[in-house]
Chain A
Amino acid sequence: MSIEETVPDGGTITGDEASADTPFGTVSSGTMSRRDRYKMLANEWVIAPFKILWDDWRARVGTLIILAYVLMGTVGVRLVDPPRVGEGDRLVSPFEDMSHPLGTDNMGNDIFAQIVHATPPMLEMIVAGAVFTTVMAVVVGTLSGYKGGWTDQLLMTFNDILMTIPGLPLVIVIAVILEPRSPWLVGVIITVNAWAGLARAIRSQVLTLREESYVEASRLMGISTPQIVMKDIMPGLMPYILVNFVNSARSVIFASVGLYFLGILPFTELNWGVMMNLSYETGGALYTWETAHWLLAPMVTIVILSFGLILFSQGTDRVFNPRVRARHTSAADPEEGDEDMSGEVATHIRG
């Protein structure tokens, strides 16, 4: 591309052409080593966000809980032996025999081991569902919002059809037909139309953002559409997307557990939902106190994970808030923050 040549006034300023006394001709004197640059990037993208998360107790607790589950699913399965039938006595109560801390079920399987070994498939399912929902919603929502025109109409028509189909019956029908066994597939099936609502919400936000002056400025600078979407539109949506990612993770947990509990999904591997189903079906856990722990243990496991996710999502939108970020990037001036202050004061007054 030879833009320089086509400029009749010879005004293009490139490094060699411009005279040194205009700031546009400046050439760097010192070189920043590759190492320093990576360090800076790491600071900006990894360390600073982590620091921000750590600053907020909710996010801190949430992160720890999620981390604990991940550890349970990765390291835990190696440390704890898989449950075996007749491993212990039948229906041992929790905290009675320390070799079975959470007790055993009616076949003598260790419940703690069951919970630990059910973690990896559960996590896979959650991740699959949450990622699928978010990616679909973001792609469809931004594409249709930013492109507009017939792309928008086509995508939104499809989207609306999905939205009007009731979710649960659809999932049940698909599950019965496909009998999915892989947890990844189960995750996707559960969220098969759950993303449509989110896609619409994202579209409307994109519609607002694309009218912002800075987006127009980028367009006028000839920056490509994917770049604009990535750099100018997405960051504004990130808090929203993240909160919805976590929410869909939670709904995957609940939906899968519910479906397993109802016996709609095939029992393949160990699963918290399956445990609850068995405790109820074969142990009558809802009616007798002896088997209650069999039902309660997976339930509590689920509740704690869901709680952790909620806390995490509440803490994370701070990560994307430039006001908070600014306070955490070390390069920034310690005096900063006065602008937000006067801004805040001003809004107080106007309000």
Chain B
Amino acid sequence: MSKTDDTQTATTAGTGAGTDLSSIRVDDPIVEIRNASVTFDMERGESRVLDEVSLDIERDEILGIVGESGSGKSMFASALLDAIVNPGVLTGDVTYHPQGDAEVDVLGLSPEQLRELRWEEISMVFQGAQSSFNPTITIRAHFEETIEAHNYNMEQAMAHARELLSDLYMDPDRVLDSYPHELSGGMQQRTLIALSLVLEPNVLVMDEPTAALDLLMQRSILSLLEDLQEKYDLSIVFITHDLPLVAGLADRLAVMYAFEFVEIGPASDLIGNPTHPYTRALLKAVPNLDTPLSEMRPIDGMAPDPVDVPQGCSYHPRCPLADETCRAEDPTYHDVTSDHQSACFHWEDSAEAIPLSTDGEHGETQAFAGEQSDEPVVSLEDVDVHFDQVSDGGLLSVFQEPDTVHAVDDISLDVYENDVVTLVGESGCGKTTLGKAVIGAQRPTDGTVAYRGQDIWEAKDSRRETDIPYEHIRRSLQMIHQDPGSSLNPNRKVAASLKAPLKRWEPDMDPDDRQERILSLLEYVGMSPPGDYAQRYPHQLSGGEKQRVALIRALLMNPDVILADEAVSALDVSLRVEVMDLMLELQDLFDTSYVFISHNLSNARYFSGKAGGRIGVMYLGELVEIGPAEQIINDPQHPYTKVLRWSTADLDIEETVEDPPLRGIDIPDPVDPPSGCRFHTRCPEAREACTRAQPTLDGHDDGTEHRTACFREYDESHEYWESEPIVDDADDADVAVGGSDSDARTDE
């Protein structure tokens, strides 16, 4: 069994790297991790999901740990607290240094001591706050239970809890009296942070704490974290797959690849002068707002399987610098500077081999902009979509009173051939509903949706022949879903899923041709050997592969418009560029248009920008700004777009996480949207006139494609310019909880 041999050799080599401790020491460590390994016994051999990792966490620092999913970063978090679940086995040392000289050997603690340590000294916040709360008791009860279980003084601790909640921009009384489901996702996550800090721990470990949230909320929470860290002298370990997100926040960064740290250093150093080829590749692969589009490119190859990590440097199969040494030996840490280490033999050459800035050679990229037609393929006119809340089982069902949600309000939009329209906005802004209305998957309450001039719903309902039969329309408008996990039927093999559309639309096709076509498509999107992939079930595919299959399936229908609903959001940052490139490439081949939905401005910029498309910004069911991608990114007009722009982390570390340029970070209730301009409750520029009248996209036609629904775009004569700026008063019910606290912070 060569596999086991490989693993063993890798282990011995790994120990060599792990014992070289001098380079990763810090002066005043609060937690020291030495040679920590986690292994699982698998049928196929030993799976090593954390490989001899050594790292120090300095007192009062924010340490960012960056890695793709499956790189072992969550294992690292669990290892810190000796919380590896059976049958995983953790070896190595974890030492916790409370104040002074005391030392605690974390792995040697009894379960009871461990329980105390976990909340009182080191606490943890996971992704997905919803599942951490008990839905049957109030938030107050959660706090009280925790405090009681650790025998803390209830009064003092509760006072601390209230302070924490208001530090996190929430109204303590209201939050404490709520049940978990009454809070929005962002509030739940902030409450969870407060809960984990209520016993005044010294270390806070956060594993993808914001991944399920909107960017704006992520950014806001991050800016709050920084304040908390200073105020309570915390050491924070922030684990994420999103490099730009932590880049501005963290003091030090550690990059994980294949279950070990490949590069560790101060954030500014690591971003400004990355030396490990993987770090450099990652920086290029991550969509962001600053890097020229032509420079972003995916990392070739795949991350290794924990059972079968390549011998030598684990990155060598993907590394352009790899040579014999790399294949044979596991690199130890090399000092770049005294506090910046890189586990690479050739770190000095990496800057030359993998340049980060344009230098001609790497300038060639395909521009995908296709010819766009004059006549729209799909055109929406004054479309409204309203939902009754009782029947809506989804996200919005948390609100109790049966009320109408204006998911889409009076939107007109044309989609042309070869077009790319990206809709961005926070969750609940109606972007998915609008997208579904475009492809005829959601019946509008009011207004018309026409496909090449034929009203879609009329075609569906009418028994007479319509100009274009409904069947044809149905076929021409397709969708790729957000969650790769549920976009494919788990009980059908890839081949069966892909054959379904062909069988439906080309029933006469020869079965062998059908098979052949599917195989060649799989091959085309990089899934080879295709024969093998065709016989797989969805659970045997990675997220990116599932999305590719879903993409092929949609394209097999030869549609005119594809709605891609957050199609890349669930993928690892480094994979997004690759999948988006593939989508655009196929667009070129098939003359398809995309309606791309994203909450992420970087993805929107990449996708729309590369294809010369548009970006539309949505807020509470309305389209507030629309225009060519680069214009929206570089010259946003609407205050809300500016907020989104702010919320998108970039790789510039000089710029610290500032306070958000808005007055409240929580979205108003969509059941009862604010009067006038819907953004006026959060808009930093809002004036009295904004509460009364509603700005429109067409109110100030200046003839360009870039249109904005804000009074600031109107000419001088508009009453906006005369009216009084809005000053928040604490009772304004529409303003998010804590909105009142925030005005002091925004007048910078």
Contact = CB atoms under 8 A, between A and B. Distances in A.
Interface of A: 1, 3, 6-9, 11-15, 22-32, 37, 211-214, 216-224, 227, 231-232, 235-236, 320, 322-323, 325-326, 329, 331-333, 335-343, 345-346, 348-351
Nearest to A30: B512
Contact of B590 (A11, A220, A339): A11
Interface residues of chain B: helix, strand, loop or mixed (majority): mixed
Given A217-B487, A219-B441, A323-B537, 11 more contacts: A3-B471, A9-B417, A27-B516, A29-B516, A213-B482, A214-B497, A220-B441, A326-B539, A331-B531, A342-B70, A350-B131
A8 B537 CA distance: 37
B128 to A, nearest CB: 7
A337 B535 CA distance: 13
A78 to B, nearest CB: 41
B512 A222 contact: no
Contacts of A26: 513, 516-517, 519-521
30 contacts: A6-B468, A6-B469, A6-B472, A9-B417, A14-B506, A22-B589, A23-B517, A23-B521, A24-B556, A26-B513, A26-B520, A28-B510, A212-B486, A213-B486, A217-B479, A217-B481, A220-B477, A220-B479, A221-B500, A222-B474, A223-B500, A231-B500, A335-B44, A338-B44, A339-B539, A343-B539, A345-B47, A348-B86, A349-B74, A349-B85
Contacts of A11: 558, 560, 590-591
A222 B489 contact: no
Contacts of A335: 44, 305
B221 interface: no
A346 B524 CA distance: 31
Contacts of B541: 339
Contacts of B475: 3, 221-222
Interface string B386-413: 0000000100000000000000000000
A335 B307 CA distance: 11
B40 interface: yes
Contacts of B306: 338, 342
B489 A326 contact: no
A322 B500 CA distance: 18
Contacts of A25: 517
Contact of A345 (B88, B128, B489, B510): B88
Contacts of A340: 539-540
Contact of B504 (A13, A222, A235, A342): A222
B78 interface: yes
B542 interface: yes
B521 to A, nearest CB: 5
B565 to A, nearest CB: 9
Interface in B653-682: none
B136 interface: no
A52 to B, nearest CB: 14
Interface string B104-142: 000000000000000000000011100100000000000
Nearest to A8: B452
A27 B515 CA distance: 9
A43 B560 CA distance: 39
A336 B487 contact: no
Contacts of A15: 509, 513
B520 A235 contact: no
Contacts of A29: 516
Contacts, number: 182
Nearest to B500: A223
A222 B471 contact: yes
Contacts of A32: 511-512, 515
A3 B470 CA distance: 11
A216 B540 CA distance: 22
Contacts of A236: 490-491
Which 4 pairs between the two chains have the least Cβ-Cβ distance? Answer: A28-B516, A213-B481, A235-B491, A28-B512
Contacts of A31: 512
B520 A216 contact: no
Contact of A325 (B49, B487, B489, B537): B537
Interface residues of B, number: 86
Interface string B437-461: 0010100000000001000000000
Q: Which of A27, A30, A224 lies at the interface centre, i.e. has the most chain B CB atoms within 10 A of its CB?
A: A27
B535 A221 contact: no
B25 interface: no
Contacts of B47: 341, 345
Contact of B532 (A333, A341, A346): A333
Given A23-B523, A231-B492, A349-B75, A9 B472 contact: no
A25 to B, nearest CB: 8
A25 B489 CA distance: 26
Given A9-B417, A220-B479, A338 B439 contact: no
B46 to A, nearest CB: 12
Q: Which of A227, A325, A332 lies at the interface centre, i.e. has the most chain B CB atoms within 10 A of its CB?
A: A332
B376 interface: no
Contacts of A13: 558, 590
Given A23-B521, A214-B486, A332 B535 contact: yes
B509 A216 contact: no
B42 interface: yes
Contacts of A212: 486
A265 B306 CA distance: 64
A27 B307 CA distance: 39
Interface string B531-565: 11001111111100000001001111110100000
B361 interface: no
Contacts of B540: 326, 332, 336-337, 339-340
A11 B86 CA distance: 55
Interface in B52-76: 70, 74-75
A122 B60 CA distance: 76
Contacts of A320: 491
Nearest to B497: A214
Contacts of A23: 517, 520-521, 523-524
B483 interface: yes
A44 to B, nearest CB: 9
Nearest to A3: B472
A28 B489 CA distance: 26
Interface string B478-504: 110111001111111000110011001
A224 to B, nearest CB: 8
Nearest to B471: A222
Contacts of B84: 349
Contacts of A219: 441
Nearest to B473: A222
Contacts of B554: 217
A214 B488 contact: yes
B479 A216 contact: yes
A221 B521 contact: no
A137 B128 CA distance: 37
Nearest to B127: A350
B183 to A, nearest CB: 21
Nearest to B532: A333
Contacts of B591: 9, 11
B43 interface: yes
A4 to B, nearest CB: 10
A12 B560 CA distance: 10
A320 B550 CA distance: 23
A51 to B, nearest CB: 16
A335 B636 CA distance: 49
B131 to A, nearest CB: 8
B272 to A, nearest CB: 33
A338 B491 contact: no
Contacts of A345: 40, 47, 49, 88
Contacts of A222: 471, 474-475, 504-505
B43 A337 contact: yes
Nearest to B509: A15
Contact of A326 (B307, B521, B537, B553): B537
